[in-house]
Amino acid sequence: MAKVYEFLANGFEEVEALAPVDILRRGGVEVKMVSVTGSNLVESSHGVVVKADLLFEDIADFSDADLLMLPGGMPGSKNLNEHEGVRKALKEQFEKGKRVAAVCAAPLILASVGLLKGKKATIYPGMESHLGEDAEYTAALVQEDGNVTTGAGPAASFPYGYKLLSYFLPEEKVEEIKKGMIYNQLLNS
């Protein structure tokens, strides 16, 4: 089955971090939350402490990843962007043609590493300038362009998570998970 790593830094946004992890794990995808703080305990932007599965420094490389994910939030996105190991892992993943994904403020990290050149992307409203001149801002809830997927913010966490899951499971299985999570009912209410 597919393998996904999600990087966590202090100041991450909880819904953006945990909803996609939950959705992917429901689909049978192996997801490892990786702390870049030197501790397994990572504090969100709203004071929620989450225990990561792994420490960044305990992983030799991320070459077994099918997807690298970044939650948004501030100062979490800024903290991830300042971590050279995360930046290197994202660049290597992208250059191999493998998937990278970021939601809310985190697309600024992809842009700063140069992964959004010539790409369509979305980001939290008001942060469009952080995508750089070489990206096309779409304002979509979820935007996919090649091996890059971006999401606009907390409310996008569910459609973003289902889009990521669709890379690993057939659409009918994704629909079953949506149904089990009462997602379609939410959309129709």
What is the structure's pLDDT at 185? 85
Contact 75, 10 (CB under 8 A): yes
Report H helices in the chain. Answer: 14-26, 76-81, 84-95, 107-112, 157-166, 171-180, 183-188
What is the structure's pLDDT at 159? 97
> Given a cut of 90, is residue 189 above it in pLDDT?
no
> Given a cut of 80, is residue 187 above it in pLDDT?
no
The pLDDT tens digits for 57-116 are 999 889 999 999 999 999 999 999 999 999 999 999 999 999 999 999 999 999 999 999
Contact 103, 73 (CB under 8 A): no
Residue found under tokens 């990561």: 52
What is the structure's pLDDT at 49? 98
Reported as a pLDDT band with limits 50, 70 and 90, residue 3 is very high
What is the structure's pLDDT at 157? 97
What is the structure's pLDDT at 1? 82
